[in-house]
Chains A and B, each alone.
Chain A
Amino acid sequence: MTFSEYLQLSVSSPRILVEIDIALPNVQWVNIGAGIWWLAVDADYSAFIDATLDDNFSAQTFVNIGSVICSGINLVSVSSLALVSTTAQSYYWDGSNNLYVRCPNSDEPGLFNITLGIVYGYSFDEFIPVGANQTYEGRLISIPRLTKSRDPLYFGRISFGGGSIVLINNDGAFDTFAIDNDVYGNECRIKLGFDGLAYSDYVILYKSYIGQLEISENEMVVNLDDKRKQLSRPITYSCANKNALDAIVEIIQQSYSYITYSSVFYDTTAWEAAKVLVDNVTINMQQPKPANDVIQDICASVFGMFDTLTDNRFTFRIIDTSATAESTIISTDIMNKIRVSYDPGEVISSVRVSYDIDGDVESSNYRTWLTDTSEETAVWTKYKTYNQKDFETWLADSAAAQSLATKLIAYVKDIHGITRITVPIKYYDVEITDTYNVQLNRENSTMLGTKKCEVLGKSINLNSVPTIDLDMRIV
């Protein structure tokens, strides 16, 4: 059975795997093709080279590799040796003995510091998934909710997912874990599967990076960081009248030169689709600021959201509640009682959008403001409130500012009900900003009926029966 088939079963036994990569430096490489290098765990290279030529390579002891980092660059995992030949900055682990890598620029490993992410696997119960070559120790105590959300008003600003994993340490197995191992900044993957499902078919629910470790006498807490949080290098960036998404690409490349605009690092299909929908920005920073903050400012300028996929590639989502709903979430899949909140405090009657920031805060022409009061009277008549909100943007001109103001006013001039629904794990691939038709009904009768909703937040609960809480804004 496939993962999708297991998801549809009324009764199935979900399995959660947590994989933590421990960095192991490696210098034993044999060239096996143009720009392709081979590491054999058993150090037996006799299939390709004369044994008398080996450099006293030694057998190694690890059994599974979850990531390969090449001088700070995470190589992309591919599913075959043939794909290593055609995929830049990639690696292929055959699951048992052989690792093949292709370094940046197809250069030799000796020009880099290569560390292997040796997989330490954990689950709620000791478990060996079908086809896996290692035991997942039953040390997992809890996985706090994996959350991703955005503030309904601060467009573009997304809360980092993160969270933390708790592993049992009553036997002291982790007492010196933080001292003995190179773990910080390494990958951590949380996978979902089922009894009987092949290990290779497990789905990665969340891929993140290891942050803080807290080790006590009875547990170890592994705190996780979102990939975007790693984009924290302070930058001073300037551009003139540049497409907002091109600016983001430049900012990332300025901070991390190896992250080039390609399908290796970006969902280029979504990125290109969003690119034609966003306005240009003009940025003239005088003081350094973390790259991810600058990116979020740009997102707020163009009514969009910078996000990462589960394979860690960057993507961009445009907030468009008029988009066709992805599908319908039927009422029988909603596991909680419907409760809808209507908050007039979130209604905005007018907006001020700044644009043409020249970067010099001392200048009297530091920025120009555009005020849109076109809906003020209507909002007052309807909700008896005046509420003006300022939006500081990097937009280049008044036309772009007016375009954003129009979108903002349309989005917030009316009260929109917000509700949280709990659904089965089969909705694991729902993404923030997507729209769904949701059947908001009582148990035996209609409540609001089917309403199109925008996803504002997603929280995966993996601790018992896996479920997902979705924060939905009725469109």
Chain B
Amino acid sequence: MAFSQLATGISVIASGLKGYQAISLSDITLTTASVIEAGSAVEIGNAFFLAGTTVTPNASSWTAITTATTAFLALTPSGTAGSQVVTAAWQADEPVWVTSKCGYYASAASVTRIVALAYKAGTASYRNKTILPNVQGKSIEINIPIDDWNMDTTINKNVAHGLTNTKIKSCDVIIYQDDGANVKPFVMTYYTAGSWYVGGNVNVNTSNFAMVMSSAATGISALFDSASYASTAVNRGYIILTYDF
């Protein structure tokens, strides 16, 4: 069978725009609770929904999420067909990609669409907020802030990911100098002016990105074991990972 042509009318709107998703979250880079911004729009089960005003995810659904795990933002239509409304809530279960609906849903037969994720670091701490893609096979890119790290005095740093580590397909770590003058990859080695310089290593275990840097004590010239990376008042950098459900 081949694709068949749709009449240029309601069929195009209902079927031709399947998978459409235009979601914006407030405070997406902050750890405060987000709302879905007014103007966001989404297709769910071939029906289209517009957030005329901000949509606040159900608060108790966040309470039910276990701390130190990743939660998923679910949009569920309800009400009488023709005047349905969509409410938002957090759920613990990972979504599945539904090929016939071209989107992430709670299950193959569900009309609950999953549009974003966040890591629950604490009761009111929403980290790693990420909008899910609406393209099959596209890995999800998640940016995780490292937060404070005095690299002059502390050799290692653990950052919790709240994910299934075997589903992480790649990761990069970027380190910011205190004054922002340099931004360097954490895992790197280079040679200059007669010396080798080494950044550090990352091990992704079941809970954390376990970062261990090279220090001067090892006898190797360390990139970050320096007063230039000592401040605890700045975010030290980001872990950027790709993840597949």
A interface residues, Cβ below 8 angstroms from B? 30-38, 45, 47-49, 53-56, 81-82, 84-85, 88, 100, 104-108, 110-111
Q: What does DSSP make chain A's interface, helix, strand, loop or mixed?
A: mixed
Bound CA–CA A35/B46 (angstroms): 6
Which 8 interchain pairs have the tightest Cβ spacing? Answer: A33-B81, A34-B45, A35-B45, A55-B7, A34-B77, A34-B111, A55-B9, A31-B14
**A170 vs chain B, min Cβ distance (A):** 45
Q: What CA separation (Å) do A108 and B102 show in the bound complex? A: 12
Are A34 and B9 touching (Cβ within 8 A)? no
Identify the closest chain A residue to B11 (Cβ): A55
Chain B min CB distance to A45 (Å): 8
Which chain A positions have C-beta within 8 A of B79? 85
Task: Select B100's contact among A30, A84, A88, A105, beta carbons within 8 Å.
Answer: A105
B111: which A residues are within 8 A, CB to CB?
34-35, 106
CB proximity of B2 to chain A, nearest CB, Å: 13
Residue in A37, A47, A55, A81 whose CB lies within 8 Å of B80: A81
**Contact: A56 with B7, CB < 8 Å?**
yes
Q: List 23 A-B contacts (CB under 8 A).
A: A31-B14, A31-B45, A32-B47, A32-B81, A34-B45, A34-B84, A35-B45, A35-B46, A35-B47, A36-B47, A36-B81, A54-B10, A55-B7, A81-B80, A85-B79, A85-B81, A105-B101, A105-B108, A105-B109, A106-B109, A106-B110, A107-B101, A108-B100
Q: A36-B81, A107-B100 are in contact. Are A30 and B10 (CB under 8 A)?
A: yes
A107 to B47, CA, bound (A): 11
Interface string of B15-52 (1 = CB under 8 A from A): 10010000000000000000000000000111100000
- Distance A310 CA – B110 CA, assembled complex (angstroms): 29
A338 to chain B, nearest CB (A): 54
How many B residues have CB within 8 A of the partner chain? 26
The answer to whether B81 touches A38 (Cβ under 8 A) is yes
Query: Using Cβ atoms and an 8 Å threshold, which residues of chain B touch A82?
Result: 80
A53–B77 alpha-carbon span in the complex (Å): 24
Contacts A31-B46, A35-B45, A35-B111; A53 near B81 (Cβ below 8 A) = no
Chain A residues whose CB sits within 8 angstroms of the CB of B13 once the complex forms: 53
Least distance between A367 CB and chain B CB atoms (Å): 41
User: Given that A55-B7, A85-B79 are contacting pairs, would A33 and B84 also be in contact in the complex, using a CB cutoff of 8 Å?
Assistant: yes
Question: What CA separation (Å) do A110 and B100 show in the bound complex?
Answer: 11
- Is B81 a contact of A100 with CB atoms below 8 Å? yes
Expressed in whole angstroms, the Cα–Cα distance for A85 and B86 within the complex equals 13
Q: Which of A81, A82, A85 has the most CB of B within 10 A?
A: A85
In the complex, what residue of chain B is closest to A105 when comparing beta carbons?
B109
The CA of A367 and the CA of B82, in the complex, are separated in Å by 61
B78: interface (CB < 8 Å): yes
Given A31-B14, A34-B84, CB of A88 within 8 Å of CB of B109: yes
Q: Complex: how many Å from CA A38 to CA B7?
A: 17
- Residue numbers in B under 8 Å from A81 (CB-CB): 80-81
Closest to A88 in B: B109
A107 CA to B44 CA in the complex, in Å? 10
Chain A residues with Cβ below 8 Å from B77 are 33-34, 85
Given contacts A53-B10, A55-B7, A55-B9, 13 further A-B contacts (CB under 8 A): A32-B47, A34-B44, A34-B45, A36-B81, A54-B9, A85-B79, A85-B80, A88-B109, A104-B109, A106-B111, A107-B101, A110-B15, A111-B100
